[in-house]
Structure 1
C-alpha cells in the first residue's frame, strides 16, 4: 500500500501537470483565434476564385490546349499530398488524417496504381517513413504560419510532376474545418482540374463573356493560381483544425488532472484517517494493558 508521502508526491505531480496542460490550452486558444481569422478572411476569396475558374473552364473545348485540365487516358501513378501537423498532443487529429491517407493508398494500390507521397508535416512523414510507401518529398513547418509562397512552392512541384508525366493525378488529404469541435479528414482531387457547373442564378451557365486578354491567356495564368489558392485554403483549414483539436485535448487533460487530484486527495485522507485510527487504537490498547 502506498504511503502518505507517496500519495502526496503524486498529488503534487498531477497538479504541476495540470498547470502545464492549462498553459498549453491557453496558447492553443490564442493561436486558434489568429489562424481562424486568417482562414475566414481568405475563404470568400478562394470560393469566388473557384467559381470564376469553373465558369472559365466550363466553356473550354476538350482540345488538349490546357494541360492542367486534360485527364489522362490511363492512370498509372498518383501523387498524394498529405497535410499533417509537426507536433502531437492534439487528440486523434493526426491519427484521423493518417488513417484516411492509409486507406486511400491501399485502395489505389489494390487497383494497381502506384502512389507517391508528398508528406507536409512531421507526423505524417514519420509514420509513412516506416511503411512501404514512396515519400517523394518531405516538408515541415508549413502549418505554423501558412503563406501563399509556401502554397506556390508546393503547388509548383505538383504542377511540374503532372505536366512532365511523373504522375497522372494529384490528390490532397487535409482536415476540413467544420466547427471548433469537429474537423473531418477530406480527400480532394487537385489535378487534373475538373470544371464544375457554374454556380449562380438560373441560366448563369448560358451567359457569354468578352475576354480581355483572350480566354486562353486568362486560363494559362489562372489555372496554376487555382492550384496555389486551393492548397493555401487547405493549409489554413488544417492549421485551424490542429489548434482547435489541441485546445480541446488540453482542456480534457486539465479536467482529468483535476478529477485525479480529487481522487488522490480522497485516498490520501482515507489513508491519513486510517493511520490516526490505528495510532489511537495503539494508545487505547497500551492504556488498557497498563490499567490491568
Structure 2
C-alpha cells in the first residue's frame, strides 16, 4: 500500500489538474458562444445566396460559361484539411487527419494530391508527409476574420481557373451542437451542378435581374465561393470550442472520480498507520508490564 505522502501528493496533483480543466472548460464555453453566434448568423445568408445562385444559373440555360463550374478529368487534387491550432479537444483533430488520409489513399488514389493545411495541427502532421503543401494560410485561426480567409479562398480559386488543380475538396468538422461535430468532405471546386426534379423546376422562383443574368452570375459566383470557404472555417472554429468544452467537462468529471478514490485510499492508509501505531504502543506497554 502506498504511504501517506505519496497519496497526498497524488491528491494535490489531481486537484490542480481538475482546477485547470474547469478553467479551460469555462474559457471554451465563452469562446463557443461567440463562435456559435457567428456560424448561426452566417448559415442562413450562405444558404440563401447559394439558392439564388443555383436558381439564376440554372435559368441561364447554358448561355453563361461559369469558369468555376468547368469540369475536367480529375488528375490534380487539392485537399484543404481544416483542424485547430491547439489540442486538448478530444478526437477533433485526429478525425480530420484520418478523413484526409482516407480520402487521399482511397478516393484520390493515383492522383496528384496537394494539401492545404489550415490549423497548426494539420500543418504539423502533413509537413512530415511526402505531399506537396500550400502552407501560406495555416495560421488562419490566430484571428478568425473574413479578410485572411478571403485571400486563401482567392488563391485556391485562381489555381483552379489556371488549371493547377482539377478538383478542390474541403475536409472539416461541421458544428451541430456542443457534443456533436460531423466530419464533412465537401467539394469546393468545380461547383457541383444541382439536378432539379421536374416539380422543383416548375416551382422555381423567377428573379428579375439587372443589368443582366450573366453579370449577376459573374459577380455572385466568386463571392459565394469565398463565403462558402469562410463558412467552413467558422464551422470548424465553433466545432473546436464545442469539442474542447466537452473534453474538459469529461476530464473534470474523471478527476472528481479519481479524487474520490484517492481520498478513500488516503483514509484507509491513514487508518492503517494509526492502527499500527496503536498496536506498537500496546505491544510496548505489554512488554514493560512483563518486565
Q: TM-score, normalised by structure 1?
A: 0.93
User: What is the match of residue 184 of structure 1?
Assistant: 182
User: What is the match of residue 226 of structure 1?
Assistant: 224
User: What is the match of residue 32 of structure 1?
Assistant: 32
Q: How many angstroms does 1:145 deviate by?
A: 4.2
Report the CA distance shift for 1:61/1:203 in structure 2 as closer, same or farther (over 3 A): closer
Distance 2:75 2:216 in 1: 31
Distance 2:138 2:21 in 1: 25
Query: How do 1:40-59 residues align onto structure 2 when only pairs under 5 Å count?
Result: 40-59=40-59
Distance 2:65 2:38 in 1: 36
Report the CA distance shift for 1:64/1:115 in structure 2 as closer, same or farther (over 3 A): farther
User: What is the match of residue 267 of structure 1?
Assistant: 265
Q: Deviations over 1:170-192 (max 9, x none)?
A: 11011111221110110110111
User: What is the match of residue 4 of structure 1?
Assistant: 4
Q: How many angstroms does 1:65 deviate by?
A: 2.7
Distance 2:89 2:223 in 1: 32
Distance 1:290 1:121 in 2: 75
Conservation of the 8 A alpha-carbon contact between 2:123 and 2:138: no
Q: How many angstroms does 1:39 deviate by?
A: 1.0
Conservation of the 8 A alpha-carbon contact between 2:123 and 2:135: no
User: What is the match of residue 107 of structure 1?
Assistant: 106
- Range moving further from structure 2, 63-72 or 26-35: 63-72
Q: Deviations over 1:102-143 (max 9, x none)?
A: 101111442x21111011100011111112222123423423
Q: Determine whether 1:140 maps to 2:130.
A: no
Distance 1:226 1:290 in 2: 95
Q: Determine whether 1:67 maps to 2:84.
A: no
Distance 2:64 2:124 in 1: 39
Distance 1:83 1:274 in 2: 55
Distance 1:281 1:263 in 2: 27
Distance 1:165 1:291 in 2: 101
Q: Deviations over 1:220-272 (max 9, x none)?
A: 11111111010111111111100000001111111111111111111111111
Conservation of the 8 A alpha-carbon contact between 1:155 and 1:228: yes
Distance 1:108 1:14 in 2: 45
Q: How many angstroms does 1:197 deviate by?
A: 4.6
Conservation of the 8 A alpha-carbon contact between 1:49 and 1:226: yes
User: What is the match of residue 254 of structure 2?
Assistant: 256
Q: Deviations over 1:182-220 (max 9, x none)?
A: 101101101111232569977223x54442111111111
Q: Which of the residues 274, 278, 281 maps onto 1:280? A: 278
Distance 1:137 1:237 in 2: 21
CA RMSD of aligned residues (A): 1.9
User: What is the match of residue 97 of structure 2?
Assistant: 98
- Range moving further from structure 2, 85-94 or 58-67: 58-67
Q: How many angstroms does 1:18 deviate by?
A: 0.8
SS at match of 2:144: coil
Report the CA distance shift for 1:20/1:273 in structure 2 as closer, same or farther (over 3 A): same
Distance 2:67 2:61 in 1: 13
User: What is the match of residue 89 of structure 1?
Assistant: 88
